[in-house]
Structure 1
Amino acid sequence: MRWEAFLDEVRERGEYASEQEAERAARVVLGLLGAHLVGEERTELAARLPETYALILLNPLQAAEPLSPERFVRATAAWIDGATEQTAKWDVGAVLSVTADAAGDDLMRRLLLQLPPGYDLLFGPQPT
């Protein structure tokens, strides 16, 4: 997926007023997500993202412990100036739903196995 297409989708789903807002949300959310993924699945997801975002996903600090979905949203809010938990939930949903589309069903099932219960709700509706 090209950078422009990914960012346009994030901007549309997040209803952001500017490309900069969508870019900031994408960088923060994918950086936090990358800290929770390992192995082949993280590499495979990175290969399906634009290079800029793939590098962010592949080069995070590793999480000391997996964050629950609620703590993931709070961490997102902490990294975005002026964000609240409510706006961070919106940011997470916009970025992760586009990420899920880029990943495809099979990879998403495998990614969700690496994450604490409840992350499926952050990515949006998933096929069963």
Structure 2
Amino acid sequence: MAWRREAFLEHVRERGEYETLNEAERAARVVLALLGAHLVGGVRAQLAARLPEEFSLILLNPLQSAEPLTPQRFVRATSAWIDGATEATAAWDVSAVLSTAADAAGEDLLGQILLQLPVGYDLLFGRPRPT
């Protein structure tokens, strides 16, 4: 079952300690658009099905990426897309959004998502895995 928009954004707002839902939404839009470029096939579709419709569409119509970004480059790319962001604030944005997406995904789907991503994304999702 997909999360409702307000519930999803409220979780992102709390985790990112944003003052407004608009700030949470801006972060969610950028991070999910970048994430969508890294996921393919059924895994991307399954995650999209668990997100609010607006964010599901962003995930399914991602920003283009020529290659999978390392976690560090993913954060750097996020900072480039958010006005006034630094790498430190972008890391905060990424963590707030991806940890909420991980909650929506559940452990089984998250495991499949992490298999499609370069090493280190488990930390961005707030779910460190033993190495």
So what's the TM-score if we normalise by structure 1? 0.97
- Is structure 2 residue 19 aligned with structure 1 residue 3? no
Q: Report deviation, 1:62.
A: 3.4
Q: Which amino acid aligns with 1:112?
A: L
Q: Give 1:34's match in structure 2, choosing from 33, 36, 43.
A: 36
- TM-aligned CA deviation for residue 63 of structure 1: 1.7
**Matched residue SS, 1:36:** coil
What does residue 65 of structure 2 align with?
Answer: 63
- Which among 84, 93, 96 is matched to residue 98 of structure 2? 96
Task: Give 5+ residue unaligned stretches, structure 2.
Answer: none
Runs of 4+ aligned residues of structure 1 deviating over 4 Å after TM superposition are none
Structure 1 counterpart of 2:107, from 102, 105, 118? 105
> SS state of the match for residue 77, structure 1?
helix
Structure 1 residue aligned with 2:46:
44
Compute the displacement of 1:60 (Å): 1.2
| Aligned twin of 1:83 | 85
Shift of 1:50: 0.2
CA contact (8 A) 2:122 2:129 kept: no
Matched-pair identity in %? 73
Consecutive unaligned residues in structure 1, runs of 5 or more: none
Deviations 1:97-121 (A, max 9, x none): 0000000000000000000000000
CA gap 1:127/1:65 in 2 versus in 1, 3 angstroms: closer
CA-atom RMSD in angstroms: 1.1
1:71-92 deviations in whole A, cap 9, x for unaligned? Answer: 0000000000000000000000
Q: Is the 8 A contact 1:25 1:92 kept in 2?
A: yes
1: CA distance, partners of 2:52 / 2:46: 12
In 2, are the aligned partners of 1:105 and 1:126 still within 8 Å (CA)?
no
1:123 aligns with 2:125: yes
1:24 corresponds to which of 26, 30, 38: 26
